[in-house]
Amino acid sequence: MNSHAENTKRIAKNTLMLYVRMLFSMLVSLYTSRVVLNTLGVEDYGIYNVVGGLVSMFSLVSNSLSASVGRFLTFELGRGDMQRLKETFSTSLLIHFVLALVICLLAETLGIWFLNTQMIIPAERLYAANWVFQASILSFMLGLCSVPYNASIISHERMGAFAYIGIMDVILRLLIVLFIAYTSFRFDKLIVYSLLLVTVSMSLQGIYLWYCRKHFEECRFRLHFNKACWKEMSAFAGWNFIGCTAGLLKDQGVNILLNLFMGPVVNAARGVAISVNTAVGSFSGNFMTALNPQITKSYAANDRAYMMSLVERGSRFSFYIMLILALPILFETEFILTLWLGQYPEHTVHFVRLVLILSLCDVLSNTLITLQNATGQIRNYQLVVGGMLLMNFPLSYICLKVGFPPESTFVVAIWVSLCCLLLRLAFLRKMAGLSMRWFLKSVCLNVFFVTVIALIIPVLFVWLSIGYGWGRFLLVCFVCLVCSAFSAYRIGCSKNERQFIIQKVYAVTNRWRAR
């Protein structure tokens, strides 16, 4: 019990550290997104969004290996096998270095061909698009080689490092935005913006490498290739490849479809919506980053009761956090976009609302995915669940081909997300002993009632209210915040959880008064 209490404190501390980073990052990104959109223009902003996404198409294998590295490093830490941990790190670093070279070769051949012959980009901006592509390739290769180092930080739960380095990243990116927006020099701003971002990426990856080598014994490369470790990691990564392919096609694949059918302006609208979703989703995402290592370690230690508690509470509280933040945005999307961007591309309002609903559906599966990775038994799981996720791409293509609006791609994604949730529960019942009925009752039914209760008063308030402006916006935000927080506390939390929250509030209040 004491170890569980210490783990809970560690999760809370790590979550707090990540929130400090996230809040600073979100405030700066809200400003920089508007400046970048206005400085580059809608067309160049859409080009940057879709060309960067094209490079991500080459991350199919790398994403599956990245998930494999994180899982195996955390698993070995949970078992306490230092020698196997060192072998796992060195093997994964060697694999990622070779993979970076292979992906660079593919990008410089197939990627260049697709960019210059298939994508809808104005002829006068094709030269700049190629510069963006090259910068994205270099940034991607650097990020790929640093995956084992970043995975080590998460596995050791050193979230303070992420917080401080993340704040440095935000500050440097802010300086870049201010430079391209207000400098008196004449240059192609899209090209310079891309190159400066690569420079920042190189600097930060160097810092991550230095930190890991200094603090973690296993993060020193040894020219050692463990065949057994490679076979185990490659088998895991091979099956995980299906899910990574599906996720990539859902995001960047659909983004390219929108470019082919609608042009770069719609890509710009989708880019704005994704930026809003990233800012909101980072609240629950930071909570999951702090929680995930504990799920894997408890599975490795065969502490099933604690593991199931983390899975259930992680899903519920991730949803509550997301709901509290998303609700006022869903009601006041137009006002927020006007305040934030001034002018914004067509379809942006609907995109923002739909992508937030999609994230609310996706967040319920986050702890299930972590548990699934912890088991290591993913072949049949990926064949079925990954196959379902793959339906995003063909169904979106059919919708666009028959003339449905671009919003239909998000509707498809929401439907697929709910289907995948049910499939994950069915598989984890056999793989990890998770009760499907228990999860549906404890999590899905719980968050459904929390959402319904949270919506009643805001819907009536918005329906009856008249006017448009700061007064209505502030009142709607206040009503949504109070109703969603009250519903999550009274309807969503158990008696013990409410007592725990009250104790923490009293503790923080007493510390504040003592000062």
Q: What is the DSSP string of 3-62?
A: HHHHHHHHHHHHHHHHHHHHHHHHHHHHHHHHHHHHHHHHHHHHHHHHHHHHHHGGGHHH
In a domain, 249, yes or no: no
In a domain, 336, yes or no: no
In a domain, 52, yes or no: yes
Q: Which of 471, 420, 484, 97 lies closest to 283, judged by CA?
A: 484
Helix orientation angle between 227-248 and 82-106, rounded to the nearest 10 degrees: 50
Name the burial class of residue 509, with classes exposed (0-12), middle (13-18) and buried (19+) by CB atoms within 10 angstroms of its CB.
exposed
| DSSP one-letter code for 364 | G
Query: Is the C-alpha dihedral spanning 485, 490, 493, 498 positive or negative?
Result: positive
In a domain, 19, yes or no: yes
pTM: 0.68
Q: 441-468: b or e for each residue (b if 16 or more CB lie within 10 Å)?
A: ebbbebbeebbebbbeebeebbeeeeee
- Give Dmax (Cα) for the chain: 69
How many CA atoms are closer than 13 Å to the CA of 434, on its beta-carbon side?
A: 29
pLDDT averaged over consecutive 10-residue blocks of the chain (515 residues)? 54 58 65 70 69 57 60 70 76 78 83 78 80 82 79 73 76 82 76 83 84 80 68 66 69 79 79 75 64 76 82 87 88 86 82 90 87 77 82 90 90 91 88 86 92 91 76 88 90 81 67 58
Rounded Cα distance, 177 and 489, in Å: 40
Angle, alpha carbons 176-139-289 (nearest 5°): 90
Please state, in angstroms and as integers, the Cα–Cα distance from residue 191 to each residue in 104, 129, 180, 201, 465, following that order.
Answer: 20, 8, 10, 16, 47
Q: How many CB atoms lie within 10 A of CB 353?
A: 19
In a domain, 381, yes or no: no
Name the burial class of residue 483, with classes exposed (0-12), middle (13-18) and buried (19+) by CB atoms within 10 angstroms of its CB.
buried
In a domain, 192, yes or no: yes
Q: How many CB atoms lie within 10 A of CB 1?
A: 6
Are the beta carbons of 221 and 149 closer than 8 angstroms?
no
In a domain, 100, yes or no: yes
Backbone dihedral angles phi then psi of residue 193, each to the nearest 5 degrees: -60, -45
The count of domains in the chain is: 1
**pLDDT score of 452:** 94
Domain that holds residue 160: 12-225
Contacts of 206 (CB under 8 A, 6+ apart): none
**pLDDT score of 1:** 47
Where does residue 342 fall: left (phi above 0), alpha (psi -120 to 50 degrees), or beta otherwise? left
In a domain, 495, yes or no: no
466 three-class SS: coil
Rounded Cα distance, 382 and 144, in Å: 23
| DSSP one-letter code for 388 | H
Which pair of structure tokens corresponds to residue 288?
């999951």
Q: How many CB atoms lie within 10 A of CB 218?
A: 22
**pLDDT score of 219:** 76
Are the beta carbons of 239 and 317 closer than 8 angstroms?
no
